[in-house]
Amino acid sequence: MRIALGIVCLNEAPWLALHLPVILRSTRIDGVVCIDGGSTDDSAAIVRSFGGTVATRAWDWDFAAQQNAVIQLAERLGYDALLKYDPDELLFPEHIDQCADLLATGQHKALVVSRYNFEGDRRHYSPYLYPDKQLRWHVLNEGFYWYRRLHATTNAYTLWNEPAGTSPGVERPILWLPHVNIYHYEGIKPIKERALKWLNYDRVQAGDAPLTVLPDGYAVPSLPVRYSVAFRGAQPLEPDECGECALYERMIV
């Protein structure tokens, strides 16, 4: 199984330079495919420096279209599966290897992993909601796609969960791996910058032009309650280190 690391980027050079050298220590990633939204920094050059393939799709505030373009590019290049990755995230190579091994068994069409959303700096994360489930691994050429903003909505659960008893060996459920973590750092950006991003997404969806600054009097959301965390390599955090964890697990079972 040939697995691609799939990236959407727009001026993400600092994150790519920081995280790709760690992620690509995994020997299970066979290549990098990237859709660049028109970066004016070195994002594309950094991806290419790791042997990646970069194509351009002008950024139009359609997150799903960018992600689907990555899937299409990976399929055209002959990959069998994709790990969806955002530049402001860190995944440990050991976890990548575990996920690749599971997907290569052919028993699952997709894998869901957990995500910590850091707020304010690289030591504090938001407990709402953990685990933040993310469908990030999936096989290609089976009609998978994203819709709406970011990676919040997919067609996976309606398209891929074949009904039980369809035929012997057909059932390939989506598997959740609660011990595999993505460390997500968008939240360390200034809260006003993030608020403008989501305001502009909503404006474009409503047919209005994006803004360059927040409107006067716009109520910027406050940071959530934060928990501190000490990095321990690829090891998951203990439940008592994320106050909402046990409650949330009961809710989703």
Q: Whole-prediction pTM value? A: 0.83
State whether 129 and 247 are in the same domain.
Answer: yes
State whether 26 and 147 are in the same domain.
Answer: yes
pLDDT at 247 over 70: no
Domain that residue 124 falls in: 3-189+223-252
pLDDT for 109: 86
Q: Which two tokens stand for residue 153?
A: 């909505």
CATH for 233: 3.90.550
- Residue 243's alpha-carbon distances to 29, 134, 220, 234, in angstroms, are 34, 20, 25, 20
| 156-163 long-range Cβ contacts below 8 angstroms, 24+ apart | 156/109, 156/110, 160/109, 160/110
pLDDT tens-digit series, residues 5-28: 999 999 999 999 999 999 999 999
State whether 198 and 227 are in the same domain.
Answer: no
pLDDT for 74: 98
- Out of 86-90, 113-117, 119-123, the most confident range is 86-90
Instruction: State the total domains in the chain.
Output: 2
State whether 13 and 131 are in the same domain.
Answer: yes
pLDDT at 237 over 70: no
pLDDT at 230 over 80: no
d(CA 69, CA 65): 6
State whether 34 and 88 are in the same domain.
Answer: yes
78: helix, coil or strand?
A: coil
More confident residue, 39 or 128: 39
State whether 134 and 47 are in the same domain.
Answer: yes
- DSSP assignment, residue 50? T
Q: Which two tokens stand for residue 8?
A: 């959407």
Q: Which residues contact 9 (CB under 8 A, 6 or more apart)?
A: 16, 34, 35, 36, 37, 39, 43, 44, 47, 87
